[in-house]
């Protein structure tokens, strides 16, 4: 959803993953003593099962790291978004009664109208 107006949006996410994993042992094509195996790191989610990569976990990590932090709709931050304007009017914070006098000094007519209600 848009970070400004909370409307659902679709965002294309493209990313490349180029990771190197620590391997111990000798590959079987170079010796008959055993197999090379991946050394698991301290990961919150398991991405290897023995020597097999679990693509779901690996791709999930890449996707989460590449998602936009604040996705925006077509209007962006600078555009006049009708959804954001409606949300702002609907959820406008009320003026605290104790701060009405400060707003009058600053010349904010909205605060004096809300304080009079």
Where are the chain's structural domains? 1-79, 91-117
CA pseudo-torsion sign 23, 28, 29, 33: positive
In which band, very low, low, confident or very high, does the pLDDT at 112 lie, cut at 50, 70 and 90? very low
Q: Residues 8-45: pLDDT tens digits? A: 888 888 888 877 766 666 665 555 556 666 666 666 66
Residue 29: predicted pLDDT: 58
Q: Residues 83-107: pLDDT tens digits? A: 776 666 555 556 677 777 777 787 7
96 Cβ contact partners less than 8 Å away, ≥ 6 residues apart = none
Residue 88: predicted pLDDT: 60
Residue 84: other Cβ atoms inside 10 A: 19
């Amino acid at each position: 959803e848009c970070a400004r107006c909370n409307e659902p949006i679709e965002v294309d996410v493209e990313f490349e993953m180029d990771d190197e994993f620590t391997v111990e042992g000798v590959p079987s094509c170079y010796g008959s003593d055993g197999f090379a195996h991946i050394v698991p790191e301290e990961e919150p989610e398991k991405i290897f099962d023995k020597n097999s990569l679990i693509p779901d976990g690996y791709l999930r990590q890449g996707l989460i790291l590449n998602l936009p932090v604040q996705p925006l709709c077509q209007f962006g931050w600078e555009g006049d978004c009708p959804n954001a304007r409606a949300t702002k009017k609907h959820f406008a914070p009320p003026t605290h009664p104790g701060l009405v006098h400060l707003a009058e000094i600053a010349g904010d007519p909205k605060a004096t109208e809300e304080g009079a209600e």
